[in-house]
Chain A
Protein backbone atom coordinates (compact mmCIF):
# COMPACT_ATOMS: atom_id res chain seq x y z
CA UNK A 1 0.00 0.00 0.00
CA UNK A 2 1.54 3.27 -1.14
CA UNK A 3 1.39 6.63 0.55
CA UNK A 4 -1.75 7.47 -1.46
CA UNK A 5 -3.52 4.48 0.03
CA UNK A 6 -2.27 5.32 3.50
CA UNK A 7 -3.57 8.89 3.30
CA UNK A 8 -6.89 7.54 2.06
CA UNK A 9 -7.49 4.83 4.64
CA UNK A 10 -6.49 6.91 7.66
CA UNK A 11 -9.71 8.92 7.25
CA UNK A 12 -11.91 5.84 7.50
CA UNK A 13 -11.27 4.70 11.07
CA UNK A 14 -8.02 5.88 12.67
CA UNK A 15 -8.72 9.56 12.07
CA UNK A 16 -12.40 9.34 11.25
CA UNK A 17 -13.51 12.98 11.11
CA UNK A 18 -16.64 12.48 13.22
CA UNK A 19 -15.80 9.70 15.67
CA UNK A 20 -12.08 10.31 16.30
CA UNK A 21 -11.34 13.93 15.30
CA UNK A 22 -14.82 15.02 16.49
CA UNK A 23 -15.05 17.47 13.58
CA UNK A 24 -18.21 18.44 11.72
CA UNK A 25 -20.49 17.38 14.55
CA UNK A 26 -22.98 20.18 13.88
CA UNK A 27 -23.97 19.03 10.35
CA UNK A 28 -23.74 15.44 11.56
CA UNK A 29 -26.37 16.07 14.22
CA UNK A 30 -28.57 18.09 11.90
CA UNK A 31 -28.72 16.10 8.67
CA UNK A 32 -28.55 12.54 10.00
CA UNK A 33 -32.34 12.21 10.22
CA UNK A 34 -32.47 10.04 7.08
CA UNK A 35 -29.93 8.21 4.94
CA UNK A 36 -31.03 10.30 1.95
CA UNK A 37 -30.00 13.51 3.69
CA UNK A 38 -26.77 11.85 4.81
CA UNK A 39 -25.86 10.99 1.20
CA UNK A 40 -26.79 14.47 -0.01
CA UNK A 41 -24.60 16.08 2.63
CA UNK A 42 -21.75 13.72 1.74
CA UNK A 43 -21.99 14.75 -1.91
CA UNK A 44 -21.79 18.42 -0.95
CA UNK A 45 -18.83 17.80 1.35
CA UNK A 46 -16.89 15.69 -1.17
CA UNK A 47 -17.20 18.35 -3.88
CA UNK A 48 -16.17 21.18 -1.56
CA UNK A 49 -13.40 19.26 0.24
CA UNK A 50 -11.91 17.83 -2.95
CA UNK A 51 -11.99 21.26 -4.62
CA UNK A 52 -10.56 23.13 -1.65
CA UNK A 53 -7.84 20.54 -0.96
CA UNK A 54 -6.72 20.58 -4.63
CA UNK A 55 -6.71 24.37 -4.98
CA UNK A 56 -5.09 25.02 -1.61
CA UNK A 57 -2.45 22.37 -2.18
CA UNK A 58 -1.71 23.86 -5.63
CA UNK A 59 -1.17 27.38 -4.28
CA UNK A 60 0.38 26.36 -0.93
CA UNK A 61 3.88 27.55 -1.88
CA UNK A 62 2.88 31.06 -2.95
CA UNK A 63 0.47 31.87 -0.11
CA UNK A 64 2.28 33.82 2.64
CA UNK A 65 1.68 32.46 6.11
CA UNK A 66 -0.30 35.45 7.37
CA UNK A 67 -2.69 35.28 4.38
CA UNK A 68 -3.63 31.62 4.82
CA UNK A 69 -6.96 31.88 6.58
CA UNK A 70 -8.54 34.71 4.50
CA UNK A 71 -7.54 33.06 1.23
CA UNK A 72 -8.70 29.59 2.34
CA UNK A 73 -12.04 30.98 3.50
CA UNK A 74 -12.64 32.86 0.23
CA UNK A 75 -11.94 29.69 -1.75
CA UNK A 76 -14.09 27.48 0.48
CA UNK A 77 -16.98 29.96 0.54
CA UNK A 78 -16.91 30.17 -3.25
CA UNK A 79 -17.01 26.39 -3.62
CA UNK A 80 -19.87 26.10 -1.11
CA UNK A 81 -21.90 28.73 -2.95
CA UNK A 82 -21.31 26.92 -6.25
CA UNK A 83 -22.51 23.64 -4.72
CA UNK A 84 -25.49 25.42 -3.13
CA UNK A 85 -26.58 26.85 -6.50
CA UNK A 86 -26.10 23.54 -8.29
CA UNK A 87 -28.15 21.67 -5.66
CA UNK A 88 -30.85 24.33 -5.79
CA UNK A 89 -31.09 23.96 -9.56
CA UNK A 90 -30.94 20.18 -9.79
CA UNK A 91 -32.08 18.69 -6.45
CA UNK A 92 -34.64 21.17 -5.07
CA UNK A 93 -36.09 18.69 -2.53
CA UNK A 94 -32.68 17.80 -1.17
CA UNK A 95 -31.74 21.48 -1.10
CA UNK A 96 -34.81 22.14 1.00
CA UNK A 97 -34.27 19.32 3.47
CA UNK A 98 -30.60 20.21 3.97
CA UNK A 99 -31.72 23.81 4.41
CA UNK A 100 -29.33 26.07 6.23
CA UNK A 101 -26.80 23.26 6.74
CA UNK A 102 -25.75 23.34 3.10
CA UNK A 103 -24.46 26.96 3.15
CA UNK A 104 -23.06 26.21 6.62
CA UNK A 105 -20.62 23.72 5.09
CA UNK A 106 -18.44 26.82 4.74
CA UNK A 107 -17.77 26.78 8.48
CA UNK A 108 -17.63 22.99 8.70
CA UNK A 109 -14.44 22.33 10.64
CA UNK A 110 -13.66 19.31 8.46
CA UNK A 111 -13.06 21.50 5.39
CA UNK A 112 -10.94 24.24 6.97
CA UNK A 113 -9.33 21.66 9.25
CA UNK A 114 -8.05 19.58 6.33
CA UNK A 115 -6.98 22.71 4.42
CA UNK A 116 -4.92 23.89 7.40
CA UNK A 117 -3.65 20.55 8.68
CA UNK A 118 -3.03 18.75 5.41
CA UNK A 119 -3.53 20.44 2.03
CA UNK A 120 -1.42 23.50 2.90
CA UNK A 121 1.56 21.25 3.65
CA UNK A 122 1.26 18.37 1.17
CA UNK A 123 1.35 17.84 -2.61
CA UNK A 124 -1.84 17.65 -4.67
CA UNK A 125 -1.97 13.86 -5.09
CA UNK A 126 -1.89 13.20 -1.35
CA UNK A 127 -4.34 16.03 -0.74
CA UNK A 128 -6.79 14.28 -3.07
CA UNK A 129 -6.29 11.03 -1.15
CA UNK A 130 -6.81 12.87 2.12
CA UNK A 131 -10.00 14.55 0.87
CA UNK A 132 -11.45 11.27 -0.42
CA UNK A 133 -10.53 9.34 2.74
CA UNK A 134 -11.95 11.96 5.07
CA UNK A 135 -15.16 12.17 3.04
CA UNK A 136 -15.64 8.42 3.03
CA UNK A 137 -15.06 8.44 6.78
CA UNK A 138 -17.60 11.26 7.13
CA UNK A 139 -20.06 9.32 4.95
CA UNK A 140 -19.64 6.12 6.98
CA UNK A 141 -20.24 8.03 10.21
CA UNK A 142 -23.27 9.86 8.81
CA UNK A 143 -24.74 6.68 7.33
CA UNK A 144 -24.23 4.78 10.58
CA UNK A 145 -25.98 7.47 12.62
CA UNK A 146 -28.77 8.17 10.14
CA UNK A 147 -29.41 4.45 9.60
CA UNK A 148 -29.95 3.96 13.34
CA UNK A 149 -31.94 7.20 13.72
CA UNK A 150 -34.23 6.38 10.82
CA UNK A 151 -34.85 2.78 11.94
CA UNK A 152 -35.42 3.65 15.60
CA UNK A 153 -37.20 6.93 14.94
CA UNK A 154 -39.56 5.91 12.15
CA UNK A 155 -39.51 2.11 12.33
CA UNK A 156 -38.80 1.83 8.61
CA UNK A 157 -35.95 2.30 6.19
CA UNK A 158 -36.43 4.23 2.99
CA UNK A 159 -34.17 6.17 0.66
CA UNK A 160 -35.44 9.18 -1.20
CA UNK A 161 -32.76 11.38 -2.71
CA UNK A 162 -31.54 12.35 -6.21
CA UNK A 163 -34.90 11.31 -7.70
CA UNK A 164 -34.68 7.83 -6.14
CA UNK A 165 -37.52 6.63 -3.99
CA UNK A 166 -36.99 3.21 -2.45
CA UNK A 167 -38.76 1.69 0.54
CA UNK A 168 -36.58 -1.06 1.95
CA UNK A 169 -38.65 -2.37 4.84
CA UNK A 170 -40.92 -1.46 7.71
CA UNK A 171 -40.38 -3.19 11.03
CA UNK A 172 -43.47 -4.87 12.54
CA UNK A 173 -43.90 -3.33 16.01
CA UNK A 174 -41.52 -0.36 15.73
CA UNK A 175 -43.27 0.74 12.53
CA UNK A 176 -46.48 1.43 14.42
CA UNK A 177 -44.86 2.82 17.56
CA UNK A 178 -41.66 4.54 16.44
CA UNK A 179 -39.37 6.12 19.03
CA UNK A 180 -39.64 9.65 17.72
CA UNK A 181 -36.93 10.89 20.08
CA UNK A 182 -34.30 9.46 17.74
CA UNK A 183 -35.46 11.73 14.90
CA UNK A 184 -35.27 14.70 17.26
CA UNK A 185 -31.94 16.30 18.32
CA UNK A 186 -31.68 14.52 21.75
CA UNK A 187 -31.68 11.15 19.99
CA UNK A 188 -28.84 12.31 17.75
CA UNK A 189 -26.78 13.33 20.77
CA UNK A 190 -27.43 9.98 22.47
CA UNK A 191 -26.44 7.94 19.41
CA UNK A 192 -23.37 10.01 18.58
CA UNK A 193 -22.23 9.74 22.19
CA UNK A 194 -22.60 5.96 22.18
CA UNK A 195 -20.83 5.57 18.82
CA UNK A 196 -18.00 7.91 19.91
CA UNK A 197 -17.53 5.72 22.97
CA UNK A 198 -17.54 2.59 20.85
CA UNK A 199 -14.91 3.97 18.46
CA UNK A 200 -12.74 5.11 21.36
CA UNK A 201 -12.96 1.68 22.92
CA UNK A 202 -11.91 0.07 19.64
CA UNK A 203 -9.02 2.55 19.36
CA UNK A 204 -7.85 1.74 22.88
CA UNK A 205 -8.04 -1.99 22.23
CA UNK A 206 -6.05 -1.59 19.02
CA UNK A 207 -3.24 0.34 20.68
CA UNK A 208 -2.91 -2.12 23.57
Chain B
Protein backbone atom coordinates (compact mmCIF):
# COMPACT_ATOMS: atom_id res chain seq x y z
CA UNK B 1 0.00 0.00 0.00
CA UNK B 2 2.66 2.44 1.08
CA UNK B 3 5.05 1.55 -1.71
CA UNK B 4 2.18 1.90 -4.12
CA UNK B 5 1.40 5.46 -2.97
CA UNK B 6 5.04 6.41 -3.30
CA UNK B 7 5.08 5.02 -6.82
CA UNK B 8 2.06 7.11 -7.69
CA UNK B 9 3.33 10.41 -6.35
CA UNK B 10 6.89 9.90 -7.60
CA UNK B 11 6.24 11.56 -11.01
CA UNK B 12 4.89 14.64 -9.23
CA UNK B 13 7.97 14.88 -7.04
CA UNK B 14 10.27 14.29 -10.01
CA UNK B 15 8.80 17.03 -12.19
CA UNK B 16 8.78 19.43 -9.22
CA UNK B 17 12.47 18.80 -8.65
CA UNK B 18 13.26 19.16 -12.36
CA UNK B 19 11.31 22.42 -12.63
CA UNK B 20 12.98 23.85 -9.52
CA UNK B 21 16.42 22.94 -10.84
CA UNK B 22 15.58 24.59 -14.18
CA UNK B 23 14.27 27.74 -12.50
CA UNK B 24 17.45 27.96 -10.43
CA UNK B 25 19.58 27.65 -13.57
CA UNK B 26 17.53 30.31 -15.39
CA UNK B 27 17.74 32.66 -12.42
CA UNK B 28 21.48 32.30 -12.27
CA UNK B 29 21.92 32.89 -16.02
CA UNK B 30 19.68 35.94 -15.80
CA UNK B 31 21.74 37.40 -12.97
CA UNK B 32 25.03 37.04 -14.83
CA UNK B 33 23.74 38.28 -18.22
CA UNK B 34 21.37 41.07 -17.17
CA UNK B 35 24.00 43.81 -16.83
CA UNK B 36 25.53 43.01 -20.22
CA UNK B 37 22.16 42.88 -21.99
CA UNK B 38 21.17 46.25 -20.59
CA UNK B 39 24.51 47.69 -21.69
CA UNK B 40 23.96 46.32 -25.23
CA UNK B 41 20.51 47.91 -25.34
CA UNK B 42 21.95 51.24 -24.24
CA UNK B 43 24.57 51.00 -27.03
CA UNK B 44 21.82 50.21 -29.53
CA UNK B 45 19.77 53.25 -28.46
CA UNK B 46 22.86 55.42 -28.68
CA UNK B 47 23.52 54.31 -32.27
CA UNK B 48 19.90 54.97 -33.19
CA UNK B 49 19.99 58.43 -31.63
CA UNK B 50 23.14 59.26 -33.55
CA UNK B 51 21.44 58.21 -36.79
CA UNK B 52 18.37 60.27 -36.00
CA UNK B 53 20.32 63.35 -34.91
CA UNK B 54 23.49 63.28 -37.04
CA UNK B 55 24.87 66.38 -35.30
CA UNK B 56 24.56 64.80 -31.84
CA UNK B 57 27.62 65.29 -29.67
CA UNK B 58 26.14 64.12 -26.38
CA UNK B 59 22.82 63.36 -24.74
CA UNK B 60 21.36 63.23 -21.27
CA UNK B 61 18.71 60.84 -20.00
CA UNK B 62 16.30 62.02 -17.34
CA UNK B 63 12.68 61.13 -16.53
CA UNK B 64 12.59 58.73 -19.52
CA UNK B 65 13.49 61.56 -21.92
CA UNK B 66 16.72 61.74 -23.89
CA UNK B 67 17.79 65.33 -24.49
CA UNK B 68 20.09 65.65 -27.48
CA UNK B 69 22.84 68.28 -27.59
CA UNK B 70 25.10 69.35 -30.41
CA UNK B 71 28.10 71.23 -29.08
CA UNK B 72 26.15 72.70 -26.18
CA UNK B 73 23.01 73.56 -28.17
CA UNK B 74 19.88 71.55 -27.53
CA UNK B 75 18.81 70.05 -30.87
CA UNK B 76 15.97 67.78 -29.82
CA UNK B 77 14.42 65.19 -27.57
CA UNK B 78 13.84 61.49 -27.85
CA UNK B 79 11.91 58.90 -25.87
CA UNK B 80 10.68 55.33 -26.16
CA UNK B 81 7.01 54.75 -26.89
CA UNK B 82 5.42 51.32 -26.55
CA UNK B 83 2.65 50.31 -28.93
CA UNK B 84 0.32 47.33 -28.52
CA UNK B 85 0.84 45.46 -31.76
CA UNK B 86 -0.49 42.25 -33.22
CA UNK B 87 2.39 40.17 -31.90
CA UNK B 88 3.09 41.89 -28.58
CA UNK B 89 4.69 45.16 -27.62
CA UNK B 90 6.32 47.35 -30.26
CA UNK B 91 9.14 49.52 -28.91
CA UNK B 92 9.55 52.73 -30.86
CA UNK B 93 12.29 55.30 -30.46
CA UNK B 94 10.71 58.68 -31.20
CA UNK B 95 12.76 61.79 -31.87
CA UNK B 96 11.32 65.30 -31.50
CA UNK B 97 12.82 68.31 -33.22
CA UNK B 98 11.07 70.73 -30.86
CA UNK B 99 7.98 70.61 -28.73
CA UNK B 100 5.61 70.31 -31.70
CA UNK B 101 7.47 68.52 -34.50
CA UNK B 102 8.52 64.89 -34.94
CA UNK B 103 12.12 64.43 -36.06
CA UNK B 104 11.75 60.77 -36.91
CA UNK B 105 10.97 57.34 -35.52
CA UNK B 106 12.87 54.07 -35.41
CA UNK B 107 11.36 50.71 -34.49
CA UNK B 108 13.61 49.03 -31.94
CA UNK B 109 14.30 45.40 -32.89
CA UNK B 110 13.26 42.65 -32.47
CA UNK B 111 10.15 43.32 -34.53
CA UNK B 112 7.62 40.68 -33.50
CA UNK B 113 4.82 41.67 -35.89
CA UNK B 114 3.74 39.25 -38.65
CA UNK B 115 6.70 38.81 -41.04
CA UNK B 116 6.03 40.36 -44.44
CA UNK B 117 2.95 42.26 -43.28
CA UNK B 118 3.11 43.97 -39.89
CA UNK B 119 6.89 43.69 -39.79
CA UNK B 120 6.99 46.34 -42.53
CA UNK B 121 6.40 49.02 -39.87
CA UNK B 122 10.18 48.89 -39.42
CA UNK B 123 10.85 49.74 -43.09
CA UNK B 124 11.83 53.26 -44.01
CA UNK B 125 8.88 53.60 -46.43
CA UNK B 126 6.69 53.63 -43.33
CA UNK B 127 8.91 55.35 -40.75
CA UNK B 128 9.91 58.13 -43.19
CA UNK B 129 6.32 59.39 -43.22
CA UNK B 130 6.72 60.59 -39.64
CA UNK B 131 9.56 62.98 -40.47
CA UNK B 132 8.80 66.62 -39.77
CA UNK B 133 5.15 65.99 -38.97
CA UNK B 134 3.30 68.07 -36.43
CA UNK B 135 2.53 65.81 -33.47
CA UNK B 136 -1.22 66.38 -33.92
CA UNK B 137 -0.98 65.07 -37.52
CA UNK B 138 0.49 61.76 -36.43
CA UNK B 139 -2.57 59.64 -37.16
CA UNK B 140 -3.63 57.28 -39.93
CA UNK B 141 -5.05 59.08 -42.96
CA UNK B 142 -8.40 57.35 -42.48
CA UNK B 143 -8.45 58.87 -38.98
CA UNK B 144 -7.73 62.33 -40.37
CA UNK B 145 -3.94 62.22 -40.05
CA UNK B 146 -0.95 62.18 -42.39
CA UNK B 147 0.24 58.57 -42.17
CA UNK B 148 -0.84 55.94 -44.70
CA UNK B 149 -1.40 52.56 -43.08
CA UNK B 150 0.48 49.60 -44.53
CA UNK B 151 -1.87 47.52 -46.67
CA UNK B 152 -3.07 44.53 -44.69
CA UNK B 153 -1.45 45.73 -41.47
CA UNK B 154 -3.82 48.33 -40.11
CA UNK B 155 -3.50 47.04 -36.55
CA UNK B 156 0.30 47.25 -36.52
CA UNK B 157 0.28 50.63 -38.28
CA UNK B 158 -2.29 52.08 -35.91
CA UNK B 159 -0.45 50.69 -32.88
CA UNK B 160 2.71 52.57 -33.90
CA UNK B 161 0.93 55.78 -34.87
CA UNK B 162 -1.22 55.93 -31.75
CA UNK B 163 1.68 55.10 -29.43
CA UNK B 164 3.85 57.81 -31.01
CA UNK B 165 1.14 60.49 -30.83
CA UNK B 166 -0.09 59.72 -27.30
CA UNK B 167 3.38 59.39 -25.85
CA UNK B 168 4.67 62.49 -27.68
CA UNK B 169 1.81 64.60 -26.34
CA UNK B 170 2.48 63.36 -22.84
CA UNK B 171 6.21 64.00 -23.07
CA UNK B 172 5.70 67.48 -24.53
CA UNK B 173 3.40 68.31 -21.63
CA UNK B 174 6.09 67.10 -19.22
CA UNK B 175 8.74 69.18 -20.99
CA UNK B 176 6.61 72.31 -20.91
CA UNK B 177 5.74 71.78 -17.25
CA UNK B 178 9.36 71.39 -16.27
CA UNK B 179 10.35 74.49 -18.23
CA UNK B 180 7.68 76.55 -16.55
CA UNK B 181 8.66 75.13 -13.17
CA UNK B 182 12.37 75.78 -13.72
Chain A residues packing against B (C-beta within 8 Å)? 62-64, 66-67, 70-71, 74-75, 77-78, 81-82, 85-86, 88-90, 92, 96, 99-100
Is B3 an interface residue when CB atoms closer than 8 A count as contact? Answer: no
Q: Which residues of A contact B37 (CB under 8 A)?
A: 85, 88-89
Q: Is the CB–CB distance between A67 and B36 below 8 Å?
A: no
Given contacts A82-B26, A85-B29, A88-B37, contact A100 B15 (CB under 8 A): no
Shortest Cβ distance from residue A73 to the other chain B in the assembled complex, whole angstroms:
10
| Complex contact B109–A96 (CB within 8 A) | yes
Find out whether the CB atom of B15 lies under 8 angstroms from the CB atom of A70: yes
* B61 partner residues in chain A, CB cutoff 8 A: none
A88 & B40 in contact (Cβ 8 Å cutoff): yes
CA–CA, A89 to B10, complex, Å? 38
CB distance from B12 to the nearest CB of A (A): 9
Q: Judge whether B44 is part of the interface by a CB distance below 8 angstroms.
A: yes
User: A71-B14, A81-B29 provided; 17 other pairs, C-beta below 8 A?
Assistant: A62-B14, A64-B10, A64-B11, A66-B11, A67-B14, A70-B15, A74-B22, A77-B22, A82-B25, A82-B26, A85-B30, A86-B29, A89-B33, A89-B36, A96-B110, A99-B110, A100-B110
Report chain B residues within 8 Å CB of A100: 110, 112
Q: Does B1 belong to the interface (CB within 8 Å)?
A: no
Which residue of chain A has the shortest Cβ distance to B44 in the bound complex?
A92
Interchain CB contact under 8 A, B18 and A89? no
B112 closest partner in A (C-beta): A100
- Closest residue to A64 on the B side, CB-wise? B11
Q: Which residues of B contact A75 (CB under 8 A)?
A: 18, 22
Closest CB in chain A relative to B117 CB, distance in Å: 15
Chain A facing B: main interface SS: helix
Query: How many chain B residues have a CB neighbour from A under 8 Å?
Result: 20
A138 shortest CB reach to chain B, Å: 24
Asked if B40 and A92 make an inter-chain contact with CB atoms under 8 angstroms apart, the answer reads yes
Q: Which residues of B in the span 10-40 have a Cβ within 8 Å of any Cβ on A?
A: 10-11, 14-15, 18-19, 22, 25-26, 29-30, 33, 36-37, 40
Contact residues in B for A88 (Cβ distance below 8 Å)? 33, 37, 40
* CB pair A86 B22 closer than 8 Å: no
- The winner among A77, A81, A85, A99 for most chain B CB atoms within 10 A is A85
5 A-B pairs in the complex with CB atoms less than 8 angstroms apart: A64-B10, A67-B14, A70-B15, A71-B14, A85-B33
In the bound complex, CA of A99 to CA of B110 (Å)? 7
A63 touches B110 (CB 8 A): no
Residues of B within 8 A of A74 (CB): 15, 18-19, 22
A-B CB proximity, top 7 nearest? A89-B36, A78-B22, A89-B33, A85-B33, A92-B40, A82-B29, A67-B11
B36: chain A residues within 8 A (beta carbon): 89-90
Residues of A within 8 A of B19 (CB): 74
Asked whether A67 lies within 8 Å of B40 as measured between CB atoms, the reply is no
- Closest CB-CB distance, B27 to chain A, in whole Å? 11
The answer to whether B25 and A78 have CB atoms under 8 Å apart is yes
Contact assessment for B26 and A78 in the assembled complex, using a CB-CB cutoff below 8 Å? yes
Among A71, A77, A89, the residue within 8 A (CB) of B15 is A71
